[in-house]
Amino acid sequence: MAGVYSYNGQDYQKRTLLSETEGYLLASVVSGAIVSPLPYIGRSFQKQLNRQMHNNHIYRDYFDKAFDISGLKEEGVTLVKAQHANVPAEYKLGLNAAYDPRYRKVIINTDRISAAGFHELGHALNSLKSKYGIKYLAKLRVPGYAIAGLMEYFAIFSRTKPKGAPRNFVDVIEDNCGKIAFLAMMPTVIEEAAASYRGIKLAKNAGINDALIKSMKQIYIKAHATYGGKAVLGGLAVFASRKIMDMFTRPKPIEQTTNYPQEYIF
């Protein structure tokens, strides 16, 4: 019989192309809705950072001191003040800051977002002075996000086997793609948290008062929420897509009917 999958004495009807298409469209809508809060989380961080712009001159002085006492100069780290350097516009305008481990450079516009700079110093400390393998977590950022992205494709694969049928490696990946996507992004979440922790600790050692430390913590918490949110909501979106595609594409069991001889029908 065409379109039938048989397993363990049970026949299963394979799903139609229309059903698969419906599943794909629904999965796309639902997964998109799940991750839709991410831009708002990012904007919340930016707003929090902008609220501290009036204190930037204070943060800037302590940031320079923090860099001096961090020991990073001895490790070959240089500070690139983006407002005076030939760097991409996002750094020159104070829309972003970064630590580049390839060249051991901290890039930041200290005229605008010095409060974010301590976090970048934390990244440098993670990379050059960390214990317990924290420095290796940053190296997993790109492959981690690549794996998470790959899981999105696994999530929308059609399921050609019924539940309970023998599974191969690809089946196991498909069954767990949501968990894998979440776990693949966790090294970045952990390393970002460690960078914020070390940055705040360095700011305290530089002598910043408690009120400014509290404000800086609020900035970092909202910044970290962008990474945590991406891991949680991204993993949930992949999980939801997988479940929807299961519903619309997994073969359905064919009900068994018994045909009785005519003489037993009254």
Task: Give the pLDDT of residue 72.
Answer: 96
pLDDT at 6 over 80: no
135-174 pLDDT per residue, tens: 899 889 999 999 999 999 999 887 777 777 788 898 899 9
Residue 16 pLDDT level (bands cut at 50, 70, 90)? confident
Q: How does the average pLDDT of the chain come out, rounded?
A: 90
Which range is least confidently modeled, 23-27, 256-260, 262-266? 262-266
Residue 125, token pair as written in the block: 């400390």
How far is the C-alpha of 28 from the C-alpha of 31, rounded, in Å? Answer: 5
Of 232, 191, 240, 199, the residue nearest 217 (C-alpha): 199
pTM to 2 decimal places: 0.86
How far is the C-alpha of 18 from the C-alpha of 214, rounded, in Å? Answer: 55
Of 158, 57, 156, 171, the residue nearest 114 (C-alpha): 57
106 pairs with which residues across the strands?
A: 79, 99
How far is the C-alpha of 251 from the C-alpha of 241, rounded, in Å? Answer: 17
Segment 190-205 mean pLDDT:
96
How far is the C-alpha of 79 from the C-alpha of 185, rounded, in Å? Answer: 28
| Phi, psi (rounded to 5 degrees) for 126 | -60, -40
Task: Give the pLDDT of residue 1.
Answer: 46
| Phi, psi (rounded to 5 degrees) for 80 | -105, 110
Q: In residues, how long is the chain?
A: 266
pLDDT at 2 over 60: no
Which range is least confidently modeled, 91-100, 108-117, 139-148, 253-262? 253-262
Segment 2-8 mean pLDDT:
65
Task: Give the pLDDT of residue 77.
Answer: 97
Segment 101-109 mean pLDDT:
96
CB 139 within 8 A of CB 146: no
Task: Give the pLDDT of residue 264.
Answer: 46
